[in-house]
Chain A
Amino acid sequence: QSVLTQPPSVSGAPGQRVTISCTGSSSNIGAGYDVHWYQQLPGTAPKLLIYANSNRPSGVPDRFSGSKSGTSASLAITGLQAEDEADYYCQSYDSSLSAWVFGGGTKLTVL
């Protein structure tokens, strides 16, 4: 049971928009800690996709965007492409645990 809750899977057709939610609590996202998002392509290491809720590292397409509100955060992917098929993880800090915590991950399938 992860501290941050993500849907196990989402799917969309090429060109569509999908969103992935990340739900936390008052000791992590709700306490004001930032949310980061990672993309993990099959058989590879995670790659930073969004940092501090809504900021993209250099090289990440602007099709990827993040937002945060209350105890939740969301990752949106527009103009879905086959290469976006991957696992996506959110991450934040939890003050009750004094630990960095990850969501359980969401598998994105491009139909």
Chain B
Amino acid sequence: QLQLQESGPGLVKPSETLSLLCTVSGGSITSGSYYWGWIRQPPGKGLEWIGSIYSSGSTNYSPSLKSRVTISVDTSKNQFSLNLSSVTAADTAVYYCARRPEIVEVPAATTPGAFDIWGQGTMLTVSS
């Protein structure tokens, strides 16, 4: 059974770069056609998509964060990572990693999948 697990420092100072890892277990990150994504949730607020990476390495990012975000994949370690630069208090959130199938089959059609497997999340606080 595929599982995702986030890891990170917990606390980052303003203006520094946030670095988080997502470790995939129970299956290979290169097996099948999947996007691997990051989603965050500020305390008491809703979900925000940050960006995704395909197992081939191609990426797409939220326009609102694009200038500060880098997502990369390390297939040898079965991990993908998130770097977010120049962080501020507004970046304080629970960060989730999740898998999204490139396509799924529905009756009489195929369509892009939803985020079907999520990690438990890791809290990241930006504070001096």
Contacts and interface: CB of A to CB of B under 8 A. Distances in A.
Interface of A: 2, 34, 36, 38, 44-48, 51-52, 55, 57, 89, 91, 93, 97-105
A105 B46 contact: yes
Contact of B49 (A57, A102, A103, A104): A102
10 contacts: A45-B118, A45-B121, A48-B114, A52-B104, A52-B114, A91-B114, A91-B115, A100-B52, A102-B46, A105-B46
Contacts of B52: 100
Given A46-B47, A98-B60, A99-B63, 9 more contacts: A34-B111, A34-B112, A51-B116, A52-B104, A99-B49, A99-B62, A102-B48, A104-B46, A105-B47
Interface of A is mostly: strand
A103 B46 contact: yes
B106 interface: yes
Interface of B is mostly: loop
Given A89-B47, A102-B47, A105-B46, A48 B115 contact: yes
Contacts of A47: 118
A92 B29 CA distance: 24
B14 interface: no
B30 interface: no
Contacts of B37: 100
A36 B120 CA distance: 19
B119 interface: yes
Most chain B CB within 10 A, of A44, A51, A104, is at A51
Contact of B63 (A36, A38, A97): A97
Given A45-B119, A46-B118, A99-B63, A93 B46 contact: no
Contacts of A45: 96, 118-121
A78 B112 CA distance: 27
Contact of A52 (B46, B47, B111, B120): B111
A51 B101 CA distance: 11
B58 to A, nearest CB: 14
Interface in B31-67: 37, 39, 46-49, 52, 60, 62-64
A35 to B, nearest CB: 9
A57 B62 contact: no
